[in-house]
């Protein structure tokens, strides 16, 4: 059974890959546009490490997306907990 961290990483990476396809950009171009070294980007997108929130924000911006588009549904709430 996968742990929650693995599920979040896998879902996030899948959402990034969907963005790559929708925007018709290469992984190399996305890494460059988001300021992440290609070797680091490749390692993380292949599940060997996690992107930082800053990296995810840079990736989202480069894809014309938001963090909410990339992170798994329900992980980000627009309302604060009371």
pLDDT digits (tens, 9 = 90+) for 53-71: 999 999 999 999 999 999 9
With cut-offs at 50, 70 and 90, classify the pLDDT of residue 79.
very low
Domains of the chain and CATH, by start = 11-68 (1.10.260.40)
With cut-offs at 50, 70 and 90, classify the pLDDT of residue 80.
very low
- Rounded Cα–Cα distance for residues 59 and 49 (Å): 15
Distance of CA 41 to the CA centre of its chain: 10
Strand runs (DSSP E) across 1-82, as ranges?
none
Q: What's the whole-number average pLDDT of the chain?
A: 90
35-52 residue pLDDT tens = 999 999 999 999 999 999
Is the CB of residue 70 less than 8 Å from the CB of residue 55? no
- Rounded Cα–Cα distance for residues 77 and 24 (Å): 29
Tokens for 63, please give them.
């894809």
Tokens for 4, please give them.
């929650």
């Amino acid at each position: 059974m996968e742990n929650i961290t693995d599920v979040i990483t896998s879902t996030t990476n899948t959402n990034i890959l969907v963005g790559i396809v929708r925007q018709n950009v290469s992984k190399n171009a996305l890494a460059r546009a988001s300021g992440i070294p290609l070797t680091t980007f490749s390692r993380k997108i292949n599940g060997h490490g996690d992107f930082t929130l800053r990296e995810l924000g840079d990736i989202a911006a480069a894809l014309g997306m938001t963090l909410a588009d990339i992170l798994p549904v329900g992980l980000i709430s627009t309302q604060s907990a009371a």
